[in-house]
Copies of this chain bind each other. A is one copy, B any other.
Amino acid sequence: MHNPLLKKLASVDRLTEAEEQAAMALCHDVHAIARRKDIVSEGSSPDCIHIILDGWAVRYNVLPDGSRRITAFLLPGDFCDIHATVLKIMDHGIIALTDCKVAFVPPEQIDRIAGSTPSLARAFWRSTLIDEAILRRWLVKGGRGDAFEAVGHLLGELYVRARLVGLTSDHSLEMPLTQEEIGDATGLTPVHVNRVLKRLREAGLATVKGGTLRINDINALRRESGFDPNYLHLSVYDSRP
């Protein structure tokens, strides 16, 4: 099972063979999206649902002053815009951080699943609710709390989420984020992100170096940055590689 969508869904709910087949069938129309290309643009009305199969992307808004706010990181297995069928106009954009492979799924196909494979539909529903829980958690951690916790928490979350889809090995993860992007997600300036990363490194919690995140001590990270992965509603969040 090397399909990240299946891995993601398996982490969220138990699926039957038939459901796995149905999920797999969503990934037929795969497009390559180049780094820094919008997958979905703000203000558009996408005619397809998009699923990341490879690479990293973000949900973002551009503020009036030109700065950018990242509201979600999208990893392989994640839906970009399953809501677009109901809410026609995108109130945010989605952009590829790296070269990506993205499945384009006609909304009718999702509707059909809702009718024919209700428990798969429930897994989709579950996964969007978890996205919402993540959003709430960002609000809780980010909101004026200190930068050290915000960044530590973000790294912990990304590590756990990446592990679900098999992107980690030996306590580390290929993480193609610049400090500016981490800043856009945490509401910090790149300069300050740099200082915080230095502190995290010196505290022996996590090391970001050369596009690789290494979690030196996940338990310490949980303790020091108040990172408790419960909100991800997963059954598996032990400290496996």
Chain A residues with CB under 8 Å of chain B are 59, 61, 63-64, 69, 71, 83, 86-87, 89, 91-92, 122, 125-126, 129-133, 135-136, 138-140, 142-145, 186-188, 226, 230-231, 233
Contact = CB atoms under 8 A, between A and B. Distances in A.
A48 to B, nearest CB: 17
B92 A144 contact: no
Contact of A87 (B87, B129, B188): B129
Given A87-B129, A122-B86, A132-B135, A144 B188 contact: yes
B71 A140 contact: yes
A135 B139 contact: yes
A137 to B, nearest CB: 8
A135 B133 contact: no
Given A64-B226, A139-B71, A140-B63, A133 B188 contact: no
Counting chain B CB atoms within 10 Å of each CB, the highest count among A83, A131, A144, A230 belongs to A144
A91 B231 contact: yes
Counting chain B CB atoms within 10 Å of each CB, the highest count among A63, A89, A91 belongs to A91
A83 B132 CA distance: 10
Counting chain B CB atoms within 10 Å of each CB, the highest count among A64, A138, A139, A140 belongs to A139
Contacts of A136: 59, 61, 71, 91-92, 135
